[in-house]
Amino acid sequence: MRGRAHCALTAALRAQGLTAAQVLRDARQRAATWSDMHDIKALRDDPAAFDAALARRGLSPVAAELLEIDEKRRACITASEAALAERNAASKQVGKAKASGDEAEFERLRALVAEKKDEITQLEADAKGWDEKLQGRLMELPNLPLPETPDGADEADNVEAKKWGEPKKLDFEPKQHFEIAEAMGLMDMATAAKISGSRFMLLSGPMARLHRAIGGFMIDHQTETNGLTEIWAPALVRDNALYGTGQLPKFTDDLFKAGDHWLIPTAEVPLTNIVAGDIIDEATLPRRYCAWTSCFRSEAGSAGRDTAGILRQHQFEKVEMVSVASPDTSMDELERMTRCAESVLEALELPYRRMTLCVGDMGFGARMTHDLEVWLPGQDAYREISSCSVCGDFQARRMNARCRKEGEKKTRFVHTLNGSGLAVGRALIAVIENYQQADGSILIPQALRPRMGGAEKVSADGTLVA
């Protein structure tokens, strides 16, 4: 009789496909990991600070709303655990009631087990509903800026941190890059538009080679001089990779979809996701990666901006840098990464300035960002060529990427950083404009000449000249 009662109990407990121990364990795991986007404990401890940080980004208070959802979800989890405990207690008495011949008690207990099973099912569903609602709200919220990130509304409030090099004083009227390259017959945006539409380019002959030389120089410089590990990375990724780095769900319109995959907007996506779901030995940090890839962006939010030339394209190449760091060293890593990008501009002898972005101009996933702006004589202005950002644990929470010190059980989320080292097309623009000559030719920077067959310049008629 006891065996049959045990079988009945086991069947009831497995009605959801889980044992009682598994139900309880899974509930606790969900309670511990549901808040992937932001530290919910910190929000509970100091909701005013959370709202104040968002206010710096121009957002309205949300802490009260989030905490209300959080409380409802936790209440469902607590009630579910209590119901599970009641069901377990009743289940232990089923066999005894059957063995004693007390059929009435046996039936009451069996009905109670079934009732609690239904109650647990409903509470689990309610908890999941609140969980999904909270996850959705948290996914929409940007990273919280560091206290030292400057306040401000837009790029006008960014802070210049340093300058390197003097903008060249040309004794002729400087031209923009596309005017020079099109006159050479080496840049053709009209044909590219015939093939693919606007915001694409065709480079040919020495200009295509110069573009390739710049990209090759950059990736070699980052690996050989700056010690980053080169990665050949996929250009197609799945949804979870873009959720991990923060492009989804907020920036769906800026992405290109290809079947069940997405084209990468930057190699930050595959490089950062290398550690997704991992627990890393903290002694192996920082891990510094770089990749030279094509990037694809719809530029949905840039209508009417930078339409002349190749400054803003749907398809472009970039050498991307990503660091996975210990929380204790991520700010030092930001400085190092920024220097890695600056060293490319210095090697190419291109004047630039470093700008610390204000909160209003900073990207969704960043806590602090250094922009590098290169001087463009044709525009008589500094223009962005790299952004280096520290994300703290914002992406790591979304990816569940953690680290652990040797001999310790406790884990903590890693910190991630990303930066351009550099954008190849924008570097080509800078080389064309800074090295233009009065006769319409372009001098080739010394650092690039070995990759250009020893040529010293591209002549006005589009040929390489030794």
What's residue 303's pLDDT?
58
Q: Given a cut of 50, is residue 381 above it in pLDDT? A: yes
- pLDDT (tens digit, 9 = 90+) per residue, 82-138? 999 888 888 878 777 777 777 787 778 878 888 888 999 999 999 999 999 998 999
Place of tokens 């190449």: 317
Which pair of tokens denotes residue 321?
Answer: 């840098």
What's residue 387's pLDDT?
98
What's residue 107's pLDDT?
78
pTM to 2 decimals? Answer: 0.87
Tell me if 430 sits within 8 A of 311, measured CB to CB.
no
Q: What is the mean pLDDT of residues 178-200?
A: 96
- pLDDT (tens digit, 9 = 90+) per residue, 199-208? 999 999 999 9
Ramachandran region of residue 311, left (φ > 0), alpha (ψ -120 to 50) or beta?
alpha
- Per residue, what are the HEC states of 333-364? HHHHHHHHHHHHHHHCCCCEEEEECCHHHCCC
Q: Which residues pair with 375 in a beta bridge?
A: 382
CB count within 10 Å of CB 60 equals 8
Q: Given a cut of 60, is residue 10 above it in pLDDT? A: no
Which pair of tokens denotes residue 9?
Answer: 């109990």
Q: Rounded to the nearest 10 degrees, what angle do helices 177-184 and 424-434 cross at?
A: 80
Average pLDDT, the chain: 90
**Alpha carbon of 454 to those of 12, 200, 445, 451, 466: distances in Å?**
79, 29, 11, 7, 6
Find all residues with CB under 8 Å of 223, minimum gap 6, and list them.
Answer: 229, 230, 290
Tell me if 378 sits within 8 A of 420, measured CB to CB.
no
What's residue 34's pLDDT?
34
Instruction: Cite the active site residues.
Output: 297, 312, 384, 387, 426
Evaluate whether 2-140 and 155-465 have a shared fold.
Answer: no
Q: What is the mean pLDDT of residues 368-383?
A: 97
Q: Given a cut of 60, is residue 9 above it in pLDDT? A: no
When pLDDT is cut at 50, 70 and 90, the band that residue 306 belongs to is low
CATH among 3.30.40, 1.10.287, 3.40.50, 1.10.10 for 2-140: 1.10.287
Q: What is the mean pLDDT of residues 206-218?
A: 98
Cα–Cα dist 365/252, whole Å: 15
What's residue 305's pLDDT?
61
Please compute, for residue 40, the number of CA atoms within 13 A of its CA located in the half-sphere on the CB side: 23
Place of tokens 């890393």: 280
H helix intervals, 221-278: 239-245, 268-272
Which pair of tokens denotes residue 62?
Answer: 């949300």
Q: Which residues pair with 188 in a beta bridge?
A: 202
Task: Name the DSSP class of 403.
Answer: E
The CATH topology of domain 155-465 is: BirA Bifunctional Protein; domain 2 (3.30.930)
- pLDDT (tens digit, 9 = 90+) per residue, 309-352? 899 999 999 999 999 999 999 999 999 999 999 999 999 999 99
Q: Given a cut of 70, is residue 22 above it in pLDDT? A: no
CA-nearest of 235, 250, 221 to 37 is 250
What's residue 304's pLDDT?
59
User: Domain ranges in the chain?
Assistant: 2-140, 155-465
Q: Quote the radius of gyration of the chain (alpha carbons, Å).
A: 29
Which pair of tokens denotes residue 31?
Answer: 């309670």
- pLDDT (tens digit, 9 = 90+) per residue, 61-94? 999 999 999 999 999 999 999 999 888 888 878 7
Q: Given a cut of 60, is residue 3 above it in pLDDT? A: no
H helix intervals, 362-466: 394-399, 424-434
